[in-house]
Amino acid sequence: MPGYVLTYFPVRGRAEPIRLLLADQGISWKEDEVQIPDWFSGKDARKKEAVFGQLPQFQDGDYVLYQSNSILRYLGNKHGLTGANDEERGHIDMVNDGVEDLRQKYGRLIFFEYETGKDKYLKELPSQLDFFERILSKNANGSKFVVGQKISFADYNLLDILQCHLDLCSKSLSAYPLLTAYVERLVARPKISEYLKSDARNKRPITPKHKK
Ligand SMILES: N[C@@H](CCC(=O)N[C@@H](CSC(=S)NCCc1ccccc1)C(=O)NCC(=O)O)C(=O)O
């Protein structure tokens, strides 16, 4: 039975929350690495087959899925990571959509405004992080996960984008005790800790713009 296959570029990017979920859940997967020049030059013909012409792609046997957030939600549904009831599921989706909003802001900075916009971005970042600190504060005083008693697919997405911001500025969470403790708690989970130390994780830059 073929297992899970994740097709993406040799970067963390939009595939990293998926990798964190799989690693933390003890689920093995195959990395199908696409070289960026081959993708854009057409040497790798898969761009024409991709539903939206982009990656990541996720394969579960013969089942093929694109869109990183859809892949996260699919794995959440399959592996019990979508909350305890409809209300929690709705809030998990809401938080994941909020993470997507922040990821798009982060991507715009990295790919289009880095030289001129970093200071302004960091100055305005608290207005975004305030939302997530408050979300954590409303669930068990921030001592657990974004929603409910169990980890959900949105937690892996939030962890990744927070780590991206810690890479951008190591002090970006210093005014956020709940977010700081949340990241520390999640990265200390044995399987996430093991993955974060792995060559597979550390050979990949966050984006093609980051130099290893
Ligand atoms: N909504 C989609 C967005 C997918 C996406 O943007 N994929 C990018 C990669 S994700 C990312 S971090 N993009 C920005 C930087 C980048 C560009 C090219 C390759 C790798 C990274 C991609 O496939 N670019 C190549 C292309 O469009 O032909 C999703 O969430 O999966």
Q: What is the ipTM of this complex?
A: 0.96
Q: How confident is the model at residue 149, as a pLDDT?
A: 97
Task: List phi, psi (to 5°) of 148.
Answer: 70, -165
Is the full-model pTM beyond 0.90?
yes
- Whether residues 9 and 53 fall in one domain: yes
58 Cβ inside 6 Å of ligand 1: no
Distance from C-alpha of 73 to C-alpha of 85, rounded to nearest angstrom: 15
| Predicted confidence (pLDDT) per residue in 62-109, tens digit | 999 999 999 999 999 999 999 999 999 999 999 999 999 999 999 999
- Whether residues 181 and 98 fall in one domain: yes
- Whether residues 68 and 104 fall in one domain: no
Distance from C-alpha of 27 to C-alpha of 195, rounded to nearest angstrom: 12
Q: What type of residue is 17?
A: P
What 3-state DSSP class applies to 31?
A: strand
Residue 157 domain boundaries: 86-189
DSSP string for 141-165: GGTS-SSSSS--HHHHHHHHHHHHH
163 Cβ inside 6 Å of ligand 1: no
170 located within any domain: yes
32: left (phi > 0), else alpha (psi -120 to 50), else beta? Answer: beta
Q: Name the residue at shortest CA distance from atom 17 of ligand 1.
A: 208
Q: Is 39 annotated as a binding residue?
A: yes
